[in-house]
Amino acid sequence: MKLLTFRHHGEEHAGVVVDRGVVPVTEINSRRGTRVPDNLLAIIGEGVEAIDAADIEPLPWTEVEPRLPYAVPPKIWCIGLNYHSHAVDINAVQPEEPGSFMKPASCLFQPGGAIVLPPPDLTDDVDAEGELGVIIGTSCRYVPAEHVRDVIFGYTTTLDLTALDVLSRNPRYLTRSKSFDTFFSFGPVIVTADEVEDVDGLEVITEHNGAVCSRDFVRNMRTRPLELVRFHSDCMTLHPGDLISTGCPKGARIKPGDRVRAQIPGVGALDASVTQGERIPVW
C-alpha cells in the first residue's frame, strides 16, 4: 500500500494512493463496512496490513493537498555521515558506529511547503539532504537481526537540514544545528514494507533547482536501514510511528528562492521551496 494524509475541503484525512489520486479511508469504510482509522499514525499503531481501495473512485490530485503523514512522530532519529561522499563534502570523518542524533517535532514543515531559513546572524550556510526514512510499525526492544523486517511498517522520503556553520564551530552543537524550525520534513507518501522488495537497491536522490545534486544507492551506506533499526532498538524501546532518517549522499547548499527535492524511485518524492525568515518575537 501507499498511504497519504491529505487535506480536502479544509479537513485532513488518511487515504490510499492509487494511479489517479487518493481514495479516502472514510469512503473505504463506508463501502466495505470496515473500521480503518482515519489517521495514519493510528493505522500504523493498529498494525493495519491491508486496506481495500479497489474499484472506488479516487479524489483527483487536483482536489487534494498532501500533508505530513502525521504531525508529531513519537521519535525522529537521524543518521549523520552514513555515506562516504557526505563526509567528504563537509570535511568530516565517518564514525565507526551510526552517527545518531534526534530532532524535535517543532522542526517539521509540510511537504511541498517552505523551508524558512533563520536570520543570517544565526546561520548563513544551510544544506538540505534528501534521505530514506524507515517507519517503525510495532513497539520493540532488542530486536534480533533476523526479525528486523517484522517491526518495520514502511518507508518514506525525508528532507533533513543542517546549519553547517553552527556545526563547524563545534560538533557538540549537532542537535542545535539540526533543530531550527522547518529543518525537517517527511512523506508525503508512506510505502508499506511489503512493496519494497530490495531496500538496499533503492536510490536516494537530492535535486537542487531542478538539477541532481547527489545520488547514491542504499547499499552504499556505511550502516544500512535494517541494521539501523536493530542498533537503535538496543538503545531504547521503539514505538509505532517512530522514524529513522538514514542519511544523505551529499547535501545541497540552499539560499532564498531555491527549490529542493528529495526523490527515491519506488518510494516517493518530497519538494520544498526556500525562503528567508526574519527575527520576529513570538510569545
3-class SS of residue 68: coil
Residues 148, 229: Cα–Cα separation, whole Å? 7
Beta strands in the chain (DSSP E): 2-8, 11-18, 21-24, 59-60, 65-66, 76-80, 99-102, 114-117, 126-136, 152-163, 184-192, 203-208, 211-217, 243-245, 252-254, 259-264, 268-276
**Residue 91 banded pLDDT, cuts 50, 70, 90:** low
Does residue 87 have a pLDDT over 80?
no
Average pLDDT over residues 98-104: 93
Of the candidates 231, 225, 233, which has an alpha carbon nearest to the alpha carbon of residue 200? 225
Grid coordinates representing 108 are: 517539521
For residue 155, the cross-strand partners are 134, 191
pLDDT digits (tens, 9 = 90+) for 178-206: 999 999 999 999 999 999 999 999 999 99
Looking at this protein, which amino acid is placed at residue 196?
V
Residue with cell 491491508: 50
pLDDT digits (tens, 9 = 90+) for 205-214: 999 999 999 9
3-class SS of residue 63: helix
Classified by CATH at the fold level, domain 76-276 comes out as Fumarylacetoacetate hydrolase; domain 2 (3.90.850)
Verdict on whether the full-model pTM lies above 0.85: yes
Domain spans of the chain? 2-66, 76-276
pLDDT digits (tens, 9 = 90+) for 155-177: 999 999 999 999 999 888 899 99
